Amino acid sequence: MASFLKDFQKRFLFDRDITRQKAFMRTIPIFAGLRGRELGRLIQSLYLRTYQKGEPLFNQGDIGRALFILESGHIALLRQDNGSENKIYTVTPGEFFGEMALLEERPRTASARAEETSRLYLLYRTELDELVHAAPRIAAVIFRHLAERLSGRLRERQDTRLAETLLSRAL
């Protein structure tokens, strides 16, 4: 009887798609620390879109307004220097990019293009702003992770600059 009820719940009451999406979101570092229901609420703030092979997500110089989370496929990040376009990174499933658009609307520093058919979740900046009021804990967790990433990148950059300065003085 108990197993029948459990099976009934799984089949008819609960949405398998949401359970799968929640499981996927648990693996995304920027959402680490969110509870089950919070992940459910977060999923409702995300937009899912499929990009075909070769389709651009955004171009370098476009104003960024969303964070992209790759569920399946591969995305190439490309940067244009002196007229030529170079691939700087390939995003793999479970990774996210464009997170700085959640903090400020600035031109994208690279272009993104689907290398194959890819499914991505988009977290739009105003959706995050809405979460600040509607579900502050979710927004706080995301902002904390963003701040950590930003801080890490600043430190990395400063260390690189310091190393470069020391090296130039030594030479």
Shortest distance in whole angstroms from residue 100 CB to another protein: 11
Q: Of residues 68-107, which lie at the interface with another protein (CB under 8 A)? A: 104-107
Give the single-character DSSP code of 64: P
Determine if residue 73 is left, alpha or beta; phi over 0 gives left, psi from -120 to 50 gives alpha, anything else beta.
left
Q: Does 119 bind another protein (CB under 8 A)?
A: no
Task: Calculate Rg over the CA atoms of the chain.
Answer: 20
Give the single-character DSSP code of 110: S
If the CB atoms of residues 104 and 171 are measured against another protein, the closer one turns out to be 104
What gap in Å lies between CA 7 and CA 124, rounded to an integer? 36
Q: Encoding tokens for residue 13? A: 């009451």
Shortest distance in whole angstroms from residue 83 CB to another protein: 21
Shortest distance in whole angstroms from residue 37 CB to another protein: 6
Shortest distance in whole angstroms from residue 85 CB to another protein: 16
Choosing from 47, 92, 132, 147, the residue that interacts with another protein (CB under 8 A) is 47
Q: Encoding tokens for residue 163? A: 């190393």
